[in-house]
Structure 1
Amino acid sequence: MKKPAEYIKGWLADILRTDFNKNTKIRNSIDIDNKTYILNFSIINRKVDWTRGTSNKTKDNFFVPYFDYDRMKKSYVEEELKILQEQFQLGNILLFESSKNNYQAVGFSKLTLREFQEVLMHSSCDFAFIKFPKYLPYAKYYVLRQFSKGLTPKPKYLKTLKYCSDREQSYAHWKYFSILYPDTAINKLTNSDGLEYITIVDYPTGSNI
């Protein structure tokens, strides 16, 4: 009688002979004595779409507030952002709808990396955004997209949450968003750093939408 390992080897050999050009799901079961071993193996060819966004890092090694919220109510996101504005003196924050029940927020006040990470830890942002910034050659970036992703259009500007702050502000980020979303340009900076460099990032997403 064959041992379970021998059955599994034969099953794996069948997998290697399978054409995976299309989405494939293999199910098999092996009866040995009075036991049934159920084996599941799935390979999904995910569509990869490229999109474009920006890093929140400034030329002089500070970070502006970037937030990414998934599957949350708009009212809750707004309430939390207002609390964070006051708690960390974040200045004005732009609110965007990236897709249904998903939101992004962008500020221009400059923070140290430690300060920015502390802000994120006090937020309800998407866990992956907080813990796993995008790694590019020699650096890691907190990135938000500002352009379409597959069939999903670019984020829609909703409103500006206003708050006065004495922090220095990133002119490069303010100018970029003012060009991309002209309605935001009405809110001028009060303590601009005068720098004009911003990191634009093209990156793949594994989304099928």
Structure 2
Amino acid sequence: MKRFEDCVVEAQRERRAAERKKTGERCKREQALLARQLSRLLFLLLLAAVLGAALIRMEPVQAAAAEIFSWERIAAGMDAPESVDEIQVKELSEFEADYSEGYENEGIEDALIGCARDHGNVLTDTRVTWYTASTAECGKDDGITASGFPVCAGVTIGVDADVIPLMSDVCVEWPDGNREWYVATDTGVIGNAVDIYIEDYEQAIQNGVRWATVYWVPEGAIQ
């Protein structure tokens, strides 16, 4: 018959082994999520490169605009630059940089939204709420979502998995046109509704209930 001390030691050993196993599984889930995020980033970078190549083909138009602007400067009695290239550098460089970045970002978003629309993955008049990982709201406080990943502000969004598949990229488009992107790693709502995770409970209450259009791109839809 085992001594009481031996039983305690064995129980502690088993508990530590279970904790190590649990920690290992959680690390694997986090690594899988990171790998997926990196894959999506690589896709966005590739799409940005394609859009950048398309933007390069606009250079003749920019050169013509610079030449017209040069003649306008002369007509206005201003010192004309020495060449069209100087105009492009001095007058258009800042605008071109801003325009190029905005053009690429909008192009990436439009491509993802277009993919969602093509597959009918759109919910209009969607109920939007906010939640935290508190025990009062979730019945637990470990911060682990329905998909097994930890909650993350600015990333985690709860969905009805029968409507929006888990691990989908989700875009919430507000009435003013602003868009926010999340990953559907949690549940907790039913039907045409989403629940956005934030850390501040008071802010979640203050945000109340709002309405938006929601698009989603299921995991693996874009390779």
Confirm or deny a common fold (TM above 0.5). Answer: no
Which structure has greater helix proportion? 2
Structure with higher RCO (Cα < 8 A, 6+ apart)? 1
Larger radius of gyration: 2
State the TM-score, normalized to the length of structure 2: 0.23
Which structure has greater strand proportion? 1
